[in-house]
A and B are shown apart, each in its own frame.
Chain A
Amino acid sequence: GENVEQHPSTLSVQEGDSAVIKCTYSDSASNYFPWYKQELGKGPQLIIDIRSNVGEKKDQRIAVTLNKTAKHFSLHITETQPEDSAVYFCAASKNYGQNFVFGPGTRLSVLP
């Protein structure tokens, strides 16, 4: 079955710097890759997603890139702010929104 790895497990950056989180997946049939942000005590919030027919997607300060050949995708956050501090989860799916396999998460701390 699908296996999703995520690195780093923790990441600290200075406010205003960029943060990059990388995920790799094992099943080449996966075609949908969302990223979720989870704040303490809350449910995950979808922040950006990408489908296998696209290599890059951007939404303001957040971007995601996908390399299907290497089977990895990355989350890029620019101009980080303290409110970006949270746990970020990547996921992979073969059925567009069904059967998500999540990565273990990255705890991002943005230092003021």
Chain B
Amino acid sequence: GAVVSQHPSWVICKSGTSVKIECRSLDFQATTMFWYRQFPKQSLMLMATSNEGSKATYEQGVEKDKFLINHASLTLSTLTVTSAHPEDSSFYICSARDAGRETQYFGPGTRLLVL
């Protein structure tokens, strides 16, 4: 149980294009999902908290117009990196909060490379 999937697992795109990453909780409902960014050999940095049916809450320094988050259902949240640039290249990881267990389960991550 407590499986979170992410799609795609990796993506390469040209500078200026937009990329959408999907995060799904497969066997539980997640009223809250989180998006993290991780640079090589570093810890996870929370970008935003996504609540089903409401606007996401962004951490300080994260541009909400650049990283669009939609949490349309209890099992799906999406992160869209708009007008991607090489500095946006990173490992993006989502997590979903299982209210029953009161903890977060992480997806496998999406590696984004912007050329």
Contact = CB atoms under 8 A, between A and B. Distances in A.
Interface string A81-97: 00000000100000011
Q: Is the interface of B mostly helix, strand, loop or mixed?
A: strand
Interface size, A (range): 20 to 34
B107 A97 contact: no
Interface in B1-50: 2, 4, 6, 32, 34, 42-44, 46, 49
A32 B109 contact: no
B52 to A, nearest CB: 14
A92 B32 CA distance: 17
Contacts, number: 51
A97 B100 CA distance: 10
Nearest to A103: B43
Contacts of B101: 97
A42 B110 CA distance: 9
A46 interface: yes
Given A98-B32, A103-B43, A104-B43, A43 B93 contact: yes
A36 to B, nearest CB: 7
Shortest Cβ-Cβ A-B pairs, 9 listed:
A96-B102, A43-B106, A97-B102, A43-B108, A43-B109, A44-B106, A97-B103, A102-B43, A97-B97
Interface of B: 2, 4, 6, 32, 34, 42-44, 46, 49, 93, 97-99, 101-109, 111
